[in-house]
Structure 1
Amino acid sequence: MKKITQYFLQGVLLVAPLAIIIYILFSLFTTLDGWLTNNMEPVVGFKIPGLGILVSFGFVTVLGFIGQTALVRPLKKVIQNLIEKIPLLNLLYSSLNDLFSAFVGKEKKFNTPVKVLFNKENNLWKLGFVTRETMETIGENDLAAVYFPHSYNFSGELYLVPAERVIKINSSPAETMKFIVSGGVTHF
């Protein structure tokens, strides 16, 4: 029973951040779409389908811009400090924040696609992304942290591999990720 509870909580940690974001964006879209349809139709004389999604996109973009300004940084810091004091919320927030920062933040982590030799005898290779060039923080200067996304899933595995086995490839991060996530069926 303890294992089932542990697996359930692990599943919640995997699903909850994405579900929360989808729920918030869907709620924003449906609320704005309904409000705009009801208020704009009498003015223009016809319904404008999809106006809610356009306004939602604009709203989220403006929030992103405001979030980058110096005016919001102190407020953001206060909110982050508050979140850090709540155990489960802290775990969810920091995981989401790190994930988004890895893809679109200033310190992108998935911008170095590589191939790693896993089985020299059978010449087996795996494609992934270097997330740290060296693991000197744990005393392993000759190891690199390489993330290997799973196909058709939003998960993956992180391996610490000998740096000499890591070979950078001539491909964009987006194309490499698409190739891996598709299970190798997209053009590469």
Structure 2
Amino acid sequence: MSKFTINRILTYFFRGLLFVVPFALTVYVIFQSLDWVDGLIPIDIPGLGLVVILSAVTLLGYLASFFITRPFFEFFERYFIKIPLVNIIYTSLKDLIGAFVGDQKKFNRPVLVKVDESGILLKVGFITNDSLEKLGMEGYISVYMPHSYAWSGNQFLVKQEYITPLKMSSTAAMKFVVSGGVSGLEDLK
């Protein structure tokens, strides 16, 4: 075989790999997650546990929305968070989930943060708190900066003059940061 043929075969292989691996891993992660949730309720019919859990969560959300039943949920929560260690875990998880799906989404205001005085180095982040006056830090705001290719990030307290709002949706900004700048810009119009 000639070198040209081998190079062409390798190019096709890597192009196929670029399609197959992300697709297969996405399907695998979704399948494993759904299988794990389905297995939380031991029912022999595949998928029924998932349906039961989704229905129960939806029903609880529905009941928690009513004026009559809301005080019951608030009463339960008030005493639940008084348990040591439970308070830290519960409130942290509730705040994190609420930041993405709650009524007061927190990662909806993308900004650029000057990392150095010259403004040569910039980082994309999301405003999570407009005022830190309660901490005695007037003129500072809280900015969350996610890491690329990870489910983690850092929270920084930044002077307001180092912040510039980004003209892009929070979804596009998060996609841009998490992908390491590879994607997210195609969503801009």
Instruction: Please give the TM-score of this superposition, normalised by the length of structure 1.
Output: 0.70
Determine which structure has more spread, i.e. the larger CA radius of gyration. 2
Pick the aligned partner of 1:143 from 129, 133, 140.
140
Cα deviations across residues 2-51 of structure 1 (Å, max 9, x unaligned)?
A: xxxxxxxxxxxxxxxxxxxxxxx86652366835x3xxxxxxxxxxx645
What does 1:17-32 align with in structure 2 at a 5 Å threshold?
29-30=38-39
Is 2:72 aligned against 1:71? Answer: no
CA RMSD of aligned residues (A): 2.6
3-state SS of paired residue (2:85): helix
CA distance in 2, matches of 1:68, 1:174: 27
When residues 28 and 158 of structure 1 are mapped into structure 2, their CA distance, relative to the original with a 3 A threshold, is closer
**Which residues of 2 match residues 42-57 of structure 1 at below 5 A?**
50=47, 52-57=49-54
Q: Distance in 2 between matches of 1:183 and 1:72?
A: 45
1:91 matched to 2:100: no
Q: Map 1:1-188 to 2 at 5 A.
A: 29-30=38-39, 34-35=43-44, 37=45, 50=47, 52-121=49-118, 123-188=120-185
**Rounded Cα–Cα distance in structure 2 between residues aligned with 1:87 and 1:26:** 32
Aligned equivalents of 2:70, 2:147: Cα separation in 1: 35
Contact 2:38 2:47 in 1 (8 A): no
Distance (whole Å) between structure 1 residues aligned to residue 78 and residue 52 of structure 2: 31
| In 2: Cα distance, 1:31 partner to 1:149 partner | 31
Counterpart AA for 1:130: I
**Would the aligned equivalents of 2:146 and 2:153 in 1 still touch at CA under 8 Å?**
yes
User: Whole-Å Cα distance in 1 between the matches of residues 184 and 107 of structure 2?
Assistant: 19
Q: What SS does the aligned partner of 2:149 have?
A: coil
Per-residue deviation at 1:64? Answer: 1.8
Choose between structure 1 and 2: higher helix proportion: 1
Contact 1:33 1:53 in 2 (8 A): no
How many residue pairs match? The answer is 153
Shift of residue 133, structure 1, vs aligned partner: 1.6
Which ranges of structure 2 fall in alignment gaps of 5 or more residues?
1-33
Q: Which consecutive unaligned segments of at least 5 residues does structure 1 have?
A: 1-24, 38-48
Instruction: Give the structure-2-normalised TM-score.
Output: 0.69
Q: Secondary structure at the match of 1:87?
A: coil
Q: Conserved in 1, the CA contact under 8 Å of 2:173 and 2:184?
A: no
